[in-house]
Amino acid sequence: MKIAIIAVLQLFAFTVFAQSNTYSSKIVDQDNQPIPFATVKEIGKENYTTTTIDGDFTLQTSTVNFTIEISSIGYTSKKVTITNGNFPASITLMTSDEQLNEIVVTALGIEREKQSLVSAVTRVSSDKLTEVTLTNVVNSLAGQVAGVQITNGSSGVGSSSRIVIRGENSLSGSNQPLFVVDGVPISNEQITSDLVNNGALQEVDFGNGGSEISPDDIASISILKGAGSAALYGARAANGVVVITTKRGKNKKGFGVTTSNSLTVETLLTLPDYQNVYGGGSNGQYSFQNGKGAGINDGGLSSYGPRLDQGLLVNQFNSPSVDINGNPVRAGDVIARTNADGSFTPITATPWVSNPNNVRNFFETGVTKQNNIAINSSGENGSSRLSYSNLRNEGIVPNTDLDRDGISLSLHQKLTEQLNVNAFVNYINTRSGNRPNLGYGYENPLYGFNWTGRQADVAALKNYWQAGQDGVQHYDINYLWLTNPYLTVYENTNSFNKNRVLGNVSAVYDITDKLNVVVRAGIDTYADKREFRRAVSTNANPQGSFREDNIGYRELNTDVLLSYKDAINDDLKYTVSVGANRFDQEIEYSYAEASQLALPGIYTLANSRTPLLGDSRLFEKRINSVYGTGNLSYKDALYLDLTYRNDWSSTLPTNNNSFGYYSAGLSFVASSLFQLPEPISYLNFRFSAASVGNDTNPYQNTQNFLFNQNYGSNFRVTNETVLKNANLKPERLNAFEAGVEAWFFNGRLQLDAAAYQNTSVDQIISRPISESSGFGSFNVNGGKVQTTGLEFLLSGTVIKNADFQWQSSVNFSTFRSKVKELPEGVDQFVTGTANIFSGGGGSNSVFYIAKKDGRVGDMYGTGFVEVDGQILHDSNGFPVQDPNLRLLGNYNPDFTMGFNNKFSYKGLDFTFLFDWRKGGTIVSRTKALGSTSGVLKETLEGRESGIIGAGVVNTGTADNPQYTPNTTVVAAQAYNNAFFDRGNEASALYSASYVKLRQVSVYYNFPAKIVDAIGFNKIKIGLVGSNLLLFTENPHFDPELNALQEQSITYGVEDFSYPSTRSFGVSLKTEF
């Protein structure tokens, strides 16, 4: 009996002992730093734990022989086999940047190993975004990501950027991707002319939303290129997704501080190539009297006057004169010089000499200061990060600026073993006392400089009020067609103050170790107040004006996502997720304008000479959605992805407002299943197919009335010009992609390539209809656009040893978007226009026209009649205009390439990035108008001898033409006016090709012994530069800078763009 009892007790003791084997260890990274919150799991059992903030963990097991798997976001998972209880004192995980299993943030904020992805996703790390810290983080992507095209506005720091991924799929939509921050969509839109009625004001670029996030707050940006990757985001993601992941608190326990400071200066990179041989005037004559025609050609704008630097004395706007009382004044002080009988006091002629730097000297050296300080903290169960960023910029255009302050707070807390909460909030205040005017018209200084004679001393215009007429009458070179550029920048200001809050909060609850639920809510809201002041006496606003715009934006997103993750066996694993989303958007706009001031210089709405003008509009949109995704993996080598989402959009008719999206994809890691030739260390093939929808803007399916200004006491409304369609359907995009990723020589050389085809059907377009209907167009579905493309990234470590390393990468992309079909009965469709001139004859515009079998981006305009490729001239030697529209070219590139390099030698890092765009056509207003006026260098030909236009003349009859070479000499001024003036868009074409040295940096990392001695963790200081070199056949402007028309960047048109700039400066980054 005793023996039995002892045996039972021994067995019990053994069992208890067997169930309570306890092992302790530590998880560290390759730098021996602790990895907190890593998961340690015993394979084959429901037994797991997590590491502490110091990387420590304790695991209890029932055996001494077992295998554990350690995983943590940002690190490669690792399996460790334990034999006879021999547990290592520490286990090292390698960061994902150095291993195959890179973690990428995908749709809905879901983190996936890169090898499991079924369509192309490119991740850009924080280091690459802040190597050269640009004021617009979107521009930091230029040249770094294959298939991503960045186009900039032309107003300098703070300009909008347009981003297009894999070409254009829609004939009428913006084609821009969705921006997402920490899983929550935000606005990157500009308020377009549909909302803002600019009236007599010219275009002003106030920037777009994506540019306002500080690069120092971003941990990474993932570009979801394929529709398969973006399908879970619904209609707004039909053109791809830019996923921004913000920084969190540091891994190490305790507090830490990081700082980033940079100071850069901007100087002119481009400027029109002006001639400096002939001054203002016509037919070799000029003399100023009143700038309105009382002198000799002083009311005109041509630069075909007397030859410069020949010792001539000529009356000019800044020549000495006297007022009617004999006091000294300038010739341009016309009011003081005007006698009672209308005659003028005499002018003392001054030397007629060239001023080759008169335009260059108008611009100033820009200065940009950017600073960031972040405080990080981590505890046992959470982390936080508080960041403050500021930007101070003084632009190259006098009296223009941009200031931005941002505060962000990131919180991550483990409340219980099962519940984690995360929160991020970012307050951004962006403001400017003046943003420069753009486009064709008096208020753009570049417009004026294209009409200003090369003798003009522009600096003499700084004192911009006429003598005795302060605030009443400005001083100028020409009072009929120009406005003093200094008056424009100092008095005609466009200010704004924008307060924005974007943020999100999420909770992750682990119901079990296999089942969790995520609840997330996000907001993006801002209030933007803009003021436009216009001084009296200018041509556009002779009585002055004042206007206030108020724009309110609010976007709310709410998500619920339930995920279940399990394994059928050791080889077969799966994840299933289902969720729902609600999206609400509200845009409110109002303006009030005093179109004439009662008293000069007082800018209030109360100071209005006439009844106030005004308008207000409200746009609302809602999308309700459900979605699901399933992921199946076999031996971590074969992955199958399936997704489905259904949206119900308020912008579509009730009977057509429901539309679904679906995608399927396969990823096959061949190197995990097969023995490949020795040079190949990793080989992955991926395939995906997706079908996604796209809705439209609010109020496109029901007729509305527009409120106009009252006529006296009469209330006025008008009908819309577009006939709405109650049966609109969503656009549909069908996408296919195949890709391959291969690593050679143990990862020293890497290739990632993809080919794709996107087909967009049921395009929503406004079809022209007979004006007898009372409308100009009708919203219909129809048309098919097909985009095919190829892209690749080739990267590798060229040299690597103990002291020196050279990393290099080349990315390449090309695509073609073709119009396969148009709505029934439609031969062609005008998708948009861009004005080249205002008024005058001819078409004066570039027309973007979609024709069957044509390309998206085809531009049409007028030119000259041609015979066998030669321009037809009339009997007087002038080119004969052709009123018919012709294909001018296509604004899309043939291909783009980026070449990125980093050299590291001990503590020294040197990086540079070249960006190459090949092909595409751009129509230039600078070329057209500067050649008409005669200020550009190419107009020097034939000034003395005349011009014989290259081409032919018909010496026969219209019925029996006989073409012979043109031999008639025409005066240069007359010929250039005929060749370049209004209605001849074909004469102002340039290639949009360029090569840019996009970024350069040289950093020195202080040695650890010095850094440690002064209590820091890291100090690096460097020289940085951007856009240092530009290679282009275009002598007048940067082809990257496109026009802004109707508050949207317009491809293929240059619109008196401001000079592009190169920037260089210093940067200091610290950590302690």
669, 799: one domain: yes
User: Which of 44, 65, 98 represents a domain boundary (last residue)?
Assistant: 98
Tokens standing for 210?
Answer: 């994506």
Most confidently predicted of 83-97, 542-556, 722-736, 761-775: 542-556
Is 856 in a helix, a strand, or coil? coil
Q: How far apart are CA 163 and CA 190, in angstroms?
A: 13
pLDDT per position as a tens digit, 349-375: 999 999 999 999 999 999 999 999 999
* Confidence band for 842, pLDDT divided at 50, 70 and 90: very low
Q: Is residue 164 part of a domain?
A: no
**3-class secondary structure for 1031-1058?**
ECCCCCCCCCECEEECCEEECCEECCCC
pLDDT 10s digits, 241-253: 898 988 888 766 7
Q: Are residues 250 and 371 in the same domain?
A: yes
pLDDT band at 104 (very low <50, low <70, confident <90, very high): low
pLDDT > 80? residue 1046: no
Q: In the block, which residue shows the tokens 């790390």?
A: 125
pLDDT above 70 coverage of the chain, percent = 91
Same domain, 394 and 262: yes
Q: What confidence tier does 482 reach under pLDDT thresholds 50, 70, 90?
A: very high
CB contact set of 316 (below 8 Å; sequence gap of 6+) = 288, 331, 349, 350, 352, 455, 456
- The answer on pLDDT for 818 being more than 70 is yes
Across the range 714-718, mean pLDDT stands at 66
Q: What is the mean pLDDT of residues 424-445?
A: 93
Report how many domains make up the chain: 2
pLDDT digits (tens, 9 = 90+) for 466-479: 999 999 999 999 99
As a three-state string, the secondary structure of 772-793 is HHCCCEEEEECCEEEEEEEEEE
Over pLDDT 90: what percentage of the chain?
59
Q: What SS3 class is residue 161?
A: strand
Whether the pLDDT of residue 98 is over 60: the answer is no
Give the lowest-confidence range in 20-24, 928-932, 1023-1027: 20-24
Say what the pTM is. Answer: 0.86
Could you tell me if residue 794 is inside a domain?
yes
Residue span of the structural domain in which 194 resides: 178-269+365-443+492-824+892-920+992-1071
Does one domain contain both 62 and 182? no
Distance CA 167, CA 302 (A): 41
| DSSP reduced 3-state for 490 | helix
Q: Is 654 exposed, middle or buried (0-12, 13-18, 19+ CB in 10 A)?
A: exposed
pLDDT higher than threshold 70 for residue 99: no
pLDDT digits (tens, 9 = 90+) for 558-568: 999 999 999 99
Of the candidate ranges 204-218, 499-513, 564-578, 902-916, the one whose mean pLDDT is the lowest = 204-218
Tokens encoding 592: 């009030």
In a domain, 960, yes or no: no
- Residue 173 in this model has a pLDDT that exceeds 60: yes
Task: Judge if 535 and 636 occupy the same domain.
Answer: yes
Q: Find, among 811, 808, 786, 787, the residue nearest to 799 by Cα.
A: 808
The closest alpha carbon to 928, from 941, 938, 917, 918, belongs to 938
Same domain, yes or no, for 693 and 812? Answer: yes
Q: Residue 773 has what pLDDT?
A: 76
Residues 636 and 655 sit within 8 Å (Cβ to Cβ): no
pLDDT > 70? residue 12: no
Mean pLDDT, range 1041-1054, rounded to an integer: 80
Would the pLDDT of 18 be above 50?
A: no
- Indicate whether 651 pLDDT > 90: no
pLDDT over threshold 50, residue 522: yes
**Same domain flag for 65 and 200:** no
**Are residues 94 and 182 both part of a single domain?**
no
- Residues 408 and 553 reside in one and the same domain: yes
CATH code, domain with 67 = 2.60.40.1120
What does the pLDDT read at residue 431?
96
Evaluate whether residue 315 is within a structural domain. no
Stretch 678-685: mean pLDDT: 90
Does residue 542 fall inside a structural domain? yes
Residues 94 and 184 in one domain: no
Measure Cα distances from 622 to 502, 557, 628, 765, 908 in Å.
19, 10, 20, 21, 52
Q: Is the pLDDT of residue 234 over 80?
A: no
711, pLDDT greater than 80: no
Tell me, yes or no, whether 328 lies in a domain. no
pLDDT 10s digits, 377-399: 988 888 999 999 999 999 999 99
Report residue 916 as tokens: 């190459």
Note whether 27 and 38 are within 8 A (CB).
yes
447 has a pLDDT exceeding 80: yes
Per-residue confidence (pLDDT) for residue 1, from 0 to 100: 40
Residue 975 lies in a domain: no
**pLDDT greater than 90 at residue 239:** no
Q: Which amino acid is at 1041?
A: L
Average pLDDT over residues 776-787: 85
Report the C-alpha gap between 603 and 611 in whole angstroms.
15
902 in the same domain as 1035: yes
The answer as to whether 408 is a domain residue is yes
Q: What was the pLDDT predicted at 715?
A: 62
Cα distance between residue 848 and residue 891, in whole Å: 10
pLDDT of residue 630: 93
pLDDT of residue 827 exceeding 90 = no
Structure tokens at 744: 């050679």
When mean pLDDT is compared across 204-208, 874-878, 896-900, the lowest value belongs to 204-208
State yes or no: pLDDT of 928 exceeds 70. yes
Last residue of a domain, one of 56, 76, 98: 98
Q: Both 189 and 65 in a single domain?
A: no
- Spatial CB neighbours of 30, under 8 Å, sequence gap ≥ 6: 92, 93, 94, 95, 98
Contact 427, 389 (CB under 8 A): no
pLDDT at 20: 61
Q: In what order do the strands lie in the sheet with 722-723?
A: 722-723, 777-781, 764-768
**Range from 207-216, 551-560, 699-708 that averages highest in pLDDT:** 551-560
Taking the C-alpha atoms of residue 694 and residue 758, their distance in angstroms, rounded to an integer, is: 14
Whole-number average pLDDT of the chain: 88
pLDDT tens digits, 312-356: 999 999 999 999 999 999 999 999 999 999 999 999 999 999 999
Q: At which of 98, 122, 151 does a domain end?
A: 98
pLDDT number for residue 115: 81
Task: Tell the residue number behind the tokens 């391959």, with chain if given.
Answer: 740
Task: Examine the pLDDT at 15 and tell me if it is beyond 90.
Answer: no
pLDDT band at 42 (very low <50, low <70, confident <90, very high): confident
Closest CA to 404 of 673, 558, 214: 214
Q: DSSP letters of 530-564?
A: EEEEE-TT-SS-TT-EEEEEEEEEEEEEEEEEEEE
pLDDT at 235 over 80: no
